[in-house]
Structure 1
Amino acid sequence: MIDYEKEMKEFKWDWPEYFDIASVVDEHAEDRTKTAIYWENENGDERRISYWELKFLTNKFANVLKNLDLKKGDRVMVMLPRIPETYVTQLGIIKFGGVIVPAIEMLRSSNIKYRANDCGVKAIVTDMSGTKIVDEVRSECKTIEHFILLDGDKEGWTNYDSLMNSQSRYFKADKKKIDDIFYISYTSGTTGLPKGVVHRNSWMYAFKRINIPFWYGAKDNDLIWATTSPGWAKWFWTHLGVTMNTGASDLLYQGRFDAEKYFELLEKYPVSICCVTPTELRLMIQVPSLEKYDLSHLRSLLSAGEPLNREVVETFQKAFGITIRDGYGQTETCCLACNYVGIPEVRPGSMGKIMPGLGIKILDPEGREVKPGEVGEITVKAGIPAIFKEYYNKPDKTKEVIDDNGQYHTKDLVRVDKDGYLWFEGRADDVILSAGYRIGPFEVEDALVKHPSVVEAAVIGSPHPVRGEIVKAFVILKEGHDPSEKLVKELQDFVKSVTAPYKYPREIEFVKELPKTISGKIKRKDLKKREYEKKKVKFP
């Protein structure tokens, strides 16, 4: 049982000089029978990989990179689905001394080009579907020298298996300092292009000290399932940061969301800790006769990404006696707040309480700490190893989020109640939180104005009962173009073709003008407030 008050007063980091998650995984391989990964796809095909096997597979991929003449610190982009090879490549990159640049499968060619050129990607690993996207901009990705194809043969690509089969299963890895960079992940903001969030090995150590004991409560005999995809930071939060750190077993399901299938998997394996998005949970409670599933082995059910409504919490409590525990953090951080293991009361909709050792302060716009009942922004002590190092090659953007007192500003607003529970109140910026995705309006607006009929566009989050928010666009058309349902569909399809499909505007409203500040900036907050009032939802 966690003594929260004691931890808040006495917690100390004690950072080791050397640490990396690949070395931790190798230590778990001492037990040759220990299962690292259970994998299943929609067709029912199954695979099982032990930590012992994973050690030698990652050694082989580290040798692949070495024999391709890559150097320590070189960036390797990985765009793969939920398969064991995602683990193999990511851990092999760390073991070799490279830097992982994760990419979600839904990215478009322009997204790949920007990320590759921004941080100087030297090699990319993807599957056949990914090659189609990459090949569209291959000649424009100036730094990529090696194109590795996982599942087949294609001109201009080197087959993954042929590379792996020729490698030794032994690799002598250099010791990695805890401050060494191992990861650059791109996150959307409200203005400008995506920023590369740079993390050191210490990020994984922070999960060992915070996420594992406080939020997950994970043990080495657990079977853990997180439904996130490998391109997201949440993959590293759970699959590497918790499961591999602990030496537990990981469940990977390579398939589309299906509520009944999710329950079947939870029952079959059986999963003891599961982390699911609020959107998935809202759909799961629609399954008839939930009580028919045996989830007696499920010890912890976690959720993150957006506030969870009371109905979902109460439904799972009634059907299975399980209390869902929310947590909160960002791509830039470890877990900042959660309903920790053993918390006296889980209050539905609350993020829980702040975590120790992070110097968290809830500040008002004038930089003063708020009182109970007031709304303020979550800030974290900058410079500590648990937090990101910087935005890659964007010192101005890094400075924008760190104040003169050395606090990193998350731009997330919360209300703190008298007992120290945090309640999400909205974003200080305009990032849209939809079905667990964080969507920056700039990329969607930029895509829309590329269409020949659009002169200007503004994008906001519009309230939605299942997804939390959906992307809505307010569009001004060029002269000679008239609003129509056909044009709405055309614009939606166009956005899907230009940027990641999940970002497309599910609603489009044609307008004559947009509200703007004196300096000409779009007043998205005004549009969003109007939208919430129209749908009779309380404005955050």
Structure 2
Amino acid sequence: MFNMTNYDDVKASFRLETPALYNFAFDVIDKRAQEADKLAYIEVDSTGENIRYYQFSDLSKRSNQFANGLLSLGAKKGDLAFVMIPLVGEWYSVMLGCCKLGVVTMPATNLLTSQDIEYRINRSKASMAIVSANNADKVEAIKKNCPSLKTLIVIGEPKEGWCTFESLTQPASTHLDRSQLAPSKASDLMMIYFTSGTTGMPKMVPRDNAYAHAHTITGKYWMDQQENDIHWTLSDTGWAKAAWGMLYSPWQMGSAMVLFDGVGFDAELHLKLIEKLGVTTFCAPPTVYRVFAQMDLSSYNLSSVRHALGAGEPLNPEVIKAWYNATGGKIYDGYGQTETINIVANYPCMPVKPGSMGKPVPGVNVQVVDEKGDICAVDCIGSIAIELTEPLQPGMFEGYWQDDEATAMCFKNGWYYTGDNCSVDKDGYFWFVGRSDDMINSSGYRISPFEVESSLLEHPAVLESAVIGKLDEARGEVVKAFIILASNYQPSDELRRDIQAFMKKQTAPYKYPREIEFVESLPKTISGKIRRIELRQNS
């Protein structure tokens, strides 16, 4: 039985009430460990052969040990911790242990470079870095440039000047006395995500404890999570999607999760693991489903999957059909942002219109509005927006961290403007049109053109550049750069490859331009701003 059988009835009546005092790690994880201990997650190594099963009681004890270890180092509520850990169980211990103490985590993708890390630590004034051994050298390279950074913790091999995760947790007690800690309010800051803007460096998105509770909506309705489910979301731990599908939403509903520390994407291994682990609900970016659609899915047993989810960009009908033919099930799209929970989705209880985003989630007032804040008429294009209320709608952020200008740009006319455009048909289904800014969405990664352009300028051959997203069947979009060369350089395939190699080292690998076009000039407005729309039209 689905968690929602009649959308209209639930949408009209559902309201999420968050307690004034709330802490996800205590009130969900520890409570489950004490009252109804069961399977919490399955950890799988990169080979797919070494599999370990962990209960909620294991999560409770391990996070308590890490919390006690942090207390021994003098950590306190409100401290900021940069966290860069791959898909291993220690990530859960760190995220939950910090949550219990009120230490604010800043999850980061494992693809970041030293330059990316330095910016994030200095922008936030983080006092702590908690990273895996293979990322420690990146922090080591820039720590002298980060005066706020005081505590270094490494997962794995010991490193001079660093505390190891093992040395902190092994001698620590598995018991943590909540009564001895500062009260945890739902409004207290819990974590911060960095997200990219179109005209500047990454912005900070603060999330309070209530954010974790709001993901009850994500887990219950779009994801349709249930107690006996084994859920698998494909995501890096540094993206907000990990909070959606690998942390808060499934555990709010009591589901178990798969934590697979794979290197790269091995489609065959993923399909075999779905069968081997008995995965019942599965969430992946459209890129993954597109790869699956090119395979002979009939040779894999995917019968355990009862509910498949897609997020990041719309799926084309051919891919949906291929998945349906292999599993007998549909793929249910969901939409949201780092700044929100899932706010628009398709649900098992209602017909899916191929290509539609679905309808707004219960408990959140989502509309399509114009620039004046008026709700758009049927089939008219406007901005996806959330009503600004007091208190705020479930899962809404309060504004960008120490950035009033950026906040004011999207909080206006009584609405939060997501920056994404769509229309609504006569049946209330949302239809995505495009982003109102210049963000690039490649294989589920959101990329700021400004960041790529800034890095390109550090190559001696680049005088000026403009970056856009070019449509690509496999990845949705790929990064394309238009480059004006410095006077002493000439266009060549060799130079193109050299710039690409430089970018792979200079910034996160997913940001490098897969296509480079050398040009004499760039189209600009009178004020000197690059007209990316013109570049996109001619690509």
Q: 1:366: Cα distance to partner? A: 4.0
**Counterpart for residue 346 of structure 2:** 339
- SS of 1:29's equivalent in the other structure is helix
Name the residue aligned to 2:528.
Answer: 520
| Structure 1 residue identity aligned to 2:418 | T
The answer on whether the counterparts of 1:432 and 1:441 sit within 8 Å (CA) in structure 2 is yes
Letter matched to residue 328 of structure 2: G
Which residue in 2 is equivalent to 1:388?
397
- In structure 2, what is the equivalent of residue 139 of structure 1? 144
- CA displacement, residues 188-214 of structure 1 (integer Å, 9 cap, x when unaligned): 111111001001111111111x21221
The AA in structure 2 aligned to 1:21 is: F
Instruction: Report the TM-score when normalising by structure 2.
Output: 0.96
Q: Deviations over 1:145-171 (max 9, x none)?
A: 111111111112112101111211111
Q: Structure 1: how far apart are the matches of 2:435 and 2:537?
A: 13
Percent identical: 40
Alignment partner of 1:309 is 2:316: yes
Q: 1:452 is paired with a residue of what secondary structure?
A: coil
The reply on whether 1:205 has 2:190 as its aligned counterpart is: no
CA contact (8 A) 1:472 1:508 kept: yes
Q: Does 1:30 align with 2:37?
A: no
Kept after mapping to 2: 8 A contact 1:25/1:247: no
Cα distance, 1:423 vs structure 2: 1.4
Distance of 1:293 and 1:31 partners within structure 2: 38
Where does 1:329-408 land on structure 2 (aligned, <5 Å)? 329-343=336-350, 345-382=351-388, 383-403=392-412, 405-408=413-416
Which amino acid in 2 is paired with 1:498?
Answer: Q
Matched AA of 1:277: P
Match of 1:267 among 264, 275, 300: 275
The CA deviation at 1:359 is 2.3
1:192 & 1:315 partners in 2: Cα distance?
40
2:194 paired with 1:186 = yes
Listed as ranges, the matches of 1:163-174 within 5 Å are: 163-173=168-178, 174=181
What is the Cα-based RMSD across aligned positions, in Å?
1.3
Kept after mapping to 2: 8 A contact 1:32/1:50: no
Structure 2 equivalent of residue 236 of structure 1? 243
AA aligned to 1:201 is N
The answer to whether structure 1 residue 321 and structure 2 residue 324 are counterparts is no
Distance 2:35 2:259 in 1: 21
Question: Which amino acid in the other structure matches residue 256 of structure 2?
Answer: S
Alignment of 1:434-445 (within 5 A): 434-445=442-453
Q: Which of 185, 196, 203 is the aligned partner of 2:204?
A: 196
Does 2:452 align with 1:448? no
Rounded to whole Å, the distance in 2 between the matches of 1:319 and 1:385 is 36
Q: Quick one: which of 77, 80, 101 aligns to 2:82?
A: 77
Once residues 56 and 40 of structure 1 are traced to their aligned partners in structure 2, the CA distance between those partners, rounded to angstroms, is 20
Residue 283 of structure 1 corresponds to which residue in structure 2? Answer: 291
* Of 247, 257, 262, the match for 1:250: 257
Deviation at 1:385, TM superposition (A): 4.5
1: distance between equivalents of 2:42 and 2:311?
Answer: 23
Alignment of 1:481-520 (within 5 A): 481-520=489-528
CA distance in 2, matches of 1:395, 1:303: 33
Shift of 1:292: 2.5
- Is 1:39 the counterpart of 2:47? The answer is no
Question: 1:460 deviation in Å?
Answer: 0.4
One-letter identity of the residue aligned with 2:454: D
Q: Work out the CA distance in 2 between the residues paired with 1:418 and 1:529.
A: 31
Matched, 1:92 2:86: no
Cα 1:124–1:203 shift into 2, 3 Å: same
Match of 2:11 among 8, 14, 29: 8
1:374–1:313: structure 2 CA closer, same or farther, 3 Å change rule? same
Please give the alpha-carbon distance, in whole angstroms, between the structure 2 residues aligned to 1:242 and 1:512. 50
Query: Counterparts of 2:334 and 2:478 in 1: how far apart (Å)?
Result: 22
Counterpart contact for 2:109–2:238, Cα < 8 Å: yes
Deviates more, 1:170-179 or 1:345-354: 170-179
Matched residue, 1:107: 112
The one-letter amino acid paired with 2:13 is E
Aligned mates of 1:348, 1:46 — CA distance in 2 = 37
* Other structure's SS at 1:225 match: strand
State the one-letter code of the partner of 2:21: Y
Q: Secondary structure at the match of 2:538?
A: helix
Look up the SS of the partner of 1:137 in the other structure: helix
Judge conservation of contact 1:219–1:246 (CA < 8 Å) in 2: yes
The runs of at least 4 consecutive aligned structure 1 residues that moved more than 6 Å come to none
Q: How many residues are treated as equivalent by the alignment? A: 527
Summarize the Cα distance change of 1:2–1:16 in structure 2 as closer, same or farther, 3 Å threshold. Answer: farther
Alignment match, 1:534: none
Corresponding position of 1:218? 225
Distance 1:7 1:376 in 2: 26
| Cα distance in 1 between the residues matched to 2:11 and 2:401 | 32
| Shift of residue 66, structure 1, vs aligned partner | 1.0
State the distance in 1 between where 2:33 and 2:17 align.
26
Q: Identify the residue that residue 20 of structure 2 maps to in structure 1.
A: 17
Alpha carbons 2:121, 2:146 under 8 Å: kept: yes
- Cα deviation for residue 178 of structure 1 reads 0.9
Which of the numbers 113, 121, 129 marks the counterpart of 2:126?
Answer: 121
- Which residue pairs with 1:537 in the alignment? none
Contact 2:422–2:433 (Cα < 8 Å) also in 1: yes
SS at match of 1:390: coil
Aligned partner of 2:482 in structure 1 is 474
The answer on whether the counterparts of 2:302 and 2:326 sit within 8 Å (CA) in structure 1 is no
Q: Which residue of 2 aligns with 1:536?
A: none
1:108-154 CA distance string (max 9 Å, x none): 11111111111121111111210111111010111111111111111
Aligned partners of 1:204 and 1:241 also within 8 Å: yes
* Closer/same/farther in 2, CA of residues 42 and 13 from structure 1, 3 Å limit: closer
State the distance in 1 between where 2:110 and 2:282 align.
Answer: 23
The Cα offsets for residues 421-454 of structure 1, whole Å up to 9 and x where unpaired, read as 1111110000001111111101000000111111
- Structure 1's 84 and 321: CA in aligned 2 closer, same or farther, altered over 3 A? same
Rounded Cα–Cα distance in structure 2 between residues aligned with 1:433 and 1:349: 17
Q: Check whether the contact 2:7–2:349 (CA below 8 A) recurs between aligned residues.
A: no
